[in-house]
Amino acid sequence: MSLLKLEQVHVGYGGIKAVKGIDLEVNAGELVTLIGANGAGKTTTLKAIVGLLKPSEGRVMYDGNNIVGQPSHAIAAKGLVLVPEGRGVFPSLTIEENLQMGAYIRNDRDGIAADIEHKFSLFPRLKERAKQTAGTLSGGEQQMLAISRALMAKPKLLLLDEPSMGLAPIMVQKIFEVVRDVSKSGVTILLIEQNARLALQISQRGYVMDGGLITLAGESADLLSNPKVREAYLGEG
């Protein structure tokens, strides 16, 4: 069943047409990736989904309803949560406080406390630094925190924008392990990622975006073996 469906979505800002009429679908329980070069329109697409940018045309159907024009906080309250590029943690708050902020739409205090402990089990490094301010963490630790904070909202659909950007290889592996585990736990995920190979290896389906258009779509295994994808995004050919 389709949880998210973009229908002929166009998005422009500052006189630039960044997204030029795309169709994209994510079914409940899927891990779907969207790959493409810098400037392809991937981040703009995510911002349009969560209400940070308003499409000039088209529909964003989430859970059967068109959410275009709804404020981003209302969209988040429906279970559609974005982990933005650059992580966006609250630098002056502690790790624990950041996690509590992720649960601001919840009022089940015991459940929130249990969920914080669960996130600490996913990322023991965060537990060791629970009272440390987020601004003092490394990039990888901040990414762990950003994902954990998003999960505190109990999302139905998690949007991840470049989670591995700027991270050391060992940290990239850890982040991807967690993304895979979160997917296996039942959370639907739409992943934008520069590391096309890793993204296609952990996802079921993928879309390739170029110049504001979807140029290829299919099963991830098929895209991994596609000569065009291998040459343009996997450094082969």
pLDDT for the residue numbered 107: 86
Domain total of the chain: 1
Q: What is the CATH number of the domain that holds 55?
A: 3.40.50.300
pLDDT for the residue numbered 87: 78
Look at residue 112 and tell me if it is in a domain: no
Looking at the DSSP bridge assignments, the partners of residue 190 are 32, 159
Place of tokens 């979807």: 214
pTM, full prediction: 0.94
Average the pLDDT over 84-111 and give the result.
Answer: 91
- Of the pLDDT bands very low, low, confident and very high (cuts 50, 70, 90), residue 15 is confident
pLDDT for the residue numbered 35: 96
- Spell out the residues 6+ positions from residue 24 whose beta carbon is closer than 8 angstroms to its own: 4, 5, 6, 9, 34, 45, 207, 214, 217
Look at residue 127 and tell me if it is in a domain: no
- Of the pLDDT bands very low, low, confident and very high (cuts 50, 70, 90), residue 86 is confident
Look at residue 124 and tell me if it is in a domain: no
pLDDT in tens, 153-169: 999 999 999 999 989 99
- Of the pLDDT bands very low, low, confident and very high (cuts 50, 70, 90), residue 235 is confident
pLDDT for the residue numbered 234: 86
pLDDT in tens, 165-208: 989 999 999 899 989 999 999 999 999 998 999 999 999 999 99
Range of the domain at 78: 2-88+156-233
d(CA 211, CA 20): 8
- Of the pLDDT bands very low, low, confident and very high (cuts 50, 70, 90), residue 1 is confident
Look at residue 80 and tell me if it is in a domain: yes
155 closest CA partner among 11, 10, 17, 3: 3
Tally Cβ neighbours within 10 Å of residue 114: 10
pLDDT in tens, 23-50: 999 999 999 999 999 899 999 999 999 9
Asked if pLDDT for residue 151 goes beyond 90, the answer is yes
d(CA 220, CA 150): 25
pLDDT in tens, 103-148: 988 889 899 999 999 999 988 999 999 999 999 999 989 999 999 9
Look at residue 125 and tell me if it is in a domain: no
Asked if pLDDT for residue 236 goes beyond 80, the answer is no
Look at residue 36 and tell me if it is in a domain: yes
Look at residue 53 and tell me if it is in a domain: yes
Look at residue 15 and tell me if it is in a domain: yes
Q: What is the 3-class SS of the chain, one letter each residue?
A: CEEEEEEEEEEEECCEEEEEEEEEEEECCCEEEEECCCCCCHHHHHHHHCCCCCCCEEEEEECCEECCCCCHHHHHHCCEEEECCCCCCCCCCEHHHHHHHHCCCCCCHHHHHHHHHHHHHHCHHHHHCCCCEHHHCCHHHHHHHHHHHHHCCCCCEEEEECCCCCCCHHHHHHHHHHHHHHHHCCCEEEEECCCHHHHHHHCCEEEEEECCEEEEEEEHHHHHCCHHHHHHHCCCC
